[in-house]
């Protein structure tokens, strides 16, 4: 916090004593003092260059790792925007999932714009009561072919969505929308089952991944 520089206050005193009672005819002095005052400030202003902000809250990367329950090759969906909002466009990688398979899906959130890379997942888990992921599907009946259930819960017993199970049925393709809401109403109807309709809160993440079940 900056305060009004001492110079101002001391000049006020100078002016007051100069101009005390019947010496106001020396008003010329006042203007000279005013000018001096301005100049003093100009001289005293240091050029402090700005420093880059450390955008600690930034989430640059969302990794979603699908591992088949019985073991096998895992598939990673990735959203990556290393320079944050604006600048270069983000890179989005969806993927192919095998039909009739149960996947264990874990989310990892990173801030790769800082060094060392910050793991935002931990931050979300620390505030698990204030966060929840939602998974919606669109296009070509993917909704009925890709089913989701939460595998984790916060201290109040409500889901978070960092750890999940996805079950694929028949081949289909479409979009998987991953949403992270900050301060949702976790007690609202349907929220526990992953229905976003009544969630409220603010969107921290809203990413669309192309998915193909084959």
Partner 1 sequence: MRFWIGAAFICCTVLASAQVDLQCPWSISGIVLDEHDDASLGYATIYIKELGRGVVSDSAGRFLIIEICEGIFTLQFSHIGCESKEQSVRIRGHVNLTLHLEHHAELLETIELNARKIREAGSASRAELDSRTLLRSSGRTLGETLTHLPGVTVLQTGPTIFKPVIHGLHSNRLLILKDGLRLESQQWGLDHAPEIDPNSASKISVVKGAAAVQYGADAVAGVILVETDDLPTDQSRHGDVRVTGVNNGKQVAISASLTQGFGRGYGIRVNAGLRHAGDAHAAEYLLTNTGVSEQSIGLDAGYQKGLRNLRVSYQLFRSELGILRSAHIGSLTDLQDALARDRPLIIEDFSYRIQNPKQQVLHHTLRIAGQTHFEKLGVFTTLYAVQWNAREEFDIRRGGRDDIPALDLQLQSHTGLLSLAHGSPGHLRGKVSLHWTYQQNRNTPGTGVRPLIPNYTKYAPAVSWVEKWITDDLEIEAGLRYEYIFLDVKRIDAQNRLVKPEFDFHNVSASAGAHYSVSDAVTCFSHIGFTHRAPHVNELFSEGLHHGAAAIEEGDTNLIPEKALKWVTGTEIRHTKWQLDASIFFQHIGDFIYLRPTGEPRLTIRGAFPVFQYVQNDVRLFGAEGSLQFALSKHWGWRSEFSVLRARNISLKEDLIGLPSDRMRHTVLWNSEKSIIDAEFSIEYVWKQICVPADIDYAPPPAGYTLVHAGVGMDVIKDQLHVHLTIRNLLNASYREYLNRLRYYADDTGRSIELRLRYQF
Interface residues with partner 1 (CB under 8 A) are 1-2, 4, 8, 12, 15-16, 19, 24-25, 27-28, 30-31, 34-35, 37-38, 41-42, 45, 47-57, 59-60, 62, 79, 81, 83-87, 89-90, 123-124, 126-127, 179, 182-183, 200, 202-207
Q: Measured from the CB atom, is 172 or 191 closer to partner 1?
A: 191
Q: Can you list the pairs that 149-153 forms with residues at least 24 positions away whose Cβ atoms lie under 8 Å? A: 149/194, 150/194, 151/104
**In this complex, which beta carbon is closest to partner 1, that of residue 12 or of residue 99?**
12
Rounded to the nearest whole angstrom, what is the least distance from the CB of residue 170 to partner 1 in the complex? 29
Minimum CB separation from partner 1 for residue 50, in Å?
5
* Minimum gap (Å) between residue 10 Cβ and partner 1: 12
What single-letter DSSP state applies at residue 8? Answer: H
Residue 59 or 75 having the CB closest to partner 1: 59
Cβ neighbours for 105, distance < 8 A, ≥ 6 positions apart: 64, 65, 66, 67, 163, 164, 165, 166
Q: How far is the CB of 139 from partner 1 (least distance, A)?
A: 17
Burial per residue of 25-60, b for 16 or more beta-carbon CB atoms within 10 angstroms, e otherwise: eeeeeeeebeeebeeeeeeeeeeeeeeeeeeeebbb
Cα 214 to Cα 208: distance, rounded to the nearest angstrom? 19
Q: How far apart are CB 70 and partner 1 at their closest, in Å?
A: 32
Tell me how far apart the alpha carbons of residues 77 and 177 are, in angstroms, rounded to a whole number. Answer: 12
Dig out the tokens for 39 from the structure. Answer: 């100049």
Nearest CB to partner 1, comparing residues 172 and 199: 199
Of 122 and 170, nearer to partner 1 (C-beta) is 122
């Amino acid at each position: 916090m900056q305060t009004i520089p001492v110079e101002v206050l001391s000049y006020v005193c100078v002016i007051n004593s100069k101009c005390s009672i019947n010496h106001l005819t020396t008003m010329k002095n006042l203007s000279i003092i005013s000018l001096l005052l301005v100049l003093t400030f100009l001289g005293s202003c240091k050029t402090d260059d700005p420093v880059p902000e450390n955008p600690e809250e930034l989430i640059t990367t969302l990794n979603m790792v699908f591992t088949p329950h019985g073991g096998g090759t895992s598939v990673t969906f990735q959203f990556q925007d290393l320079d944050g909002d604006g600048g270069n466009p983000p890179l989005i990688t969806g993927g192919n999932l095998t039909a009739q398979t149960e996947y264990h899906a874990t989310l990892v959130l990173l801030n790769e714009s800082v060094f060392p890379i910050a793991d935002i997942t931990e931050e979300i888990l620390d505030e698990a009561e204030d966060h929840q992921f939602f998974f919606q599907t669109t296009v070509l009946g993917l909704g009925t072919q890709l089913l989701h259930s939460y595998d984790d819960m916060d201290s109040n017993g409500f889901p978070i969505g960092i750890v999940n199970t996805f079950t694929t049925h028949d081949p289909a393709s479409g979009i998987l929308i991953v949403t992270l809401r900050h301060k949702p109403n976790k007690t609202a109807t349907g929220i526990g089952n992953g229905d976003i309709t009544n969630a409220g809160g603010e969107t921290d993440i809203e990413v669309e991944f192309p998915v193909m079940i084959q």
